[in-house]
Amino acid sequence: MSSVIKKIMPDTSTSSPLALGIDFGGTSVKLGLVRDGQLVTRGTPIPTSGHTQADDLFADILHGIATLRANAAPVAIGVGLPGPVDHEAGIVHELSNVPGWANVPLRDQLRRETGLPTCIDNDAKAMTYAEWKFGAGRGGRNVICVTLGTGVGGGLILEGKLFRGSRNGAGEIGNVSIDYRGVPGNYGNFGAVEKYVGNREIAARAVELYARAGGRARSLDECTPLALEDAARAGDAIAQGLWRETGEMLGACLADVVWLLNPDSIVLGGGVAKAGDLIFTPLRETIAARTSRVFSERLQIVPAQLGSDAGLIGAAALGVDQAAAAA
């Protein structure tokens, strides 16, 4: 396969190390060179479709790495992946979006093939690390990051450190229940919040509401979060009510998180969060109504700043920091 690299910004700094970040997304694998939270060079994305075996995709990733290293000398590699990852052992148990990945020792494979220190972690944790070090959560001691998209992911910074939990599963906020007799979740967990505020679930609820309350037939494709945002801002009462309900449901979930962890800030990223005040206003109001003022009055609830590159930037930063700690 051919690869093209795109220079994003001049790389004139020599004060901090350059790292290579890799982010496994829903449809492609993104690669880039990162320094101090800035994407310096972007590699060509690698489509995940058509790869049925881990070895096939791994070979394309190695090619992309080699292309980026042709004119640069990164000191470490960091990888963010969707699905269960054993950070300490460096093993990918499975990938949410790519078949054929079962207990793949990705960290050791990359170390062996590239000769560079490598770390792997869950993609939501990589996004969390990026927003804490360089983005909306910068300077916070206890920061909760939530990604709102097809599902709901999350990560925790506690006492100034990325908290992974005993099996690298801490921060899976999408599986927190808001109704113990509600919609079945993926793991037998009734009422899991991502079954109410994910992209597909919001669209399906909108279709139902338009048919029942408005007598209007709408398809799922006509009820994407972006379409519903446009409708709400144009004065559509059904879309406005749906966004308020979504913010309240997410707020009920995060109120529990506030009681449990008492964070300085909550950072929201992902496509659903782009609805802005439509979701942030009811979210803030719900958390304030359901928690002690002592906890909520200084709590910052803010949009993520690093956009779709947060996972790649965070993975690279994790790679650099882990390599430095091991030196």
Report how far residue 167's alpha carbon sits from residue 237's, in angstroms, rounded to the nearest whole number: 44
Highest CATH level, class, for 138-304: alpha beta
H or E element at residue 148: strand 143-148
Q: What is the pTM of this model?
A: 0.92
Contacts of 246 (CB under 8 A, 6+ apart): 196, 197, 202, 272, 279, 282
Encode pLDDT of 6-21 as tens digits: 666 555 455 689 999 9
Question: Half-sphere exposure of 114 toward its Cβ, with a 13 Å CA cutoff?
Answer: 30
Sign of CA dihedral 35, 37, 38, 44: positive
Q: Where in the chain is the domain with CATH 3.30.420.40?
A: 6-127+308-326, 138-304
Q: Which residue has the tokens 């398809």?
A: 219
Cβ atoms of residues 77 and 118 within 8 Å: yes
User: Could you tell me which residues are beta bridge partners of residue 145?
Assistant: 155, 267
CATH topology of domain 6-127+308-326: Nucleotidyltransferase; domain 5 (3.30.420)
Tens-place pLDDT, residues 166-178: 988 899 999 999 9
Quickly count: other Cβ atoms within 10 Å of residue 73's Cβ. 9
Residues of the chain with pLDDT under 50: 1-2, 12
Judged by DSSP in three states, 183 sits in coil
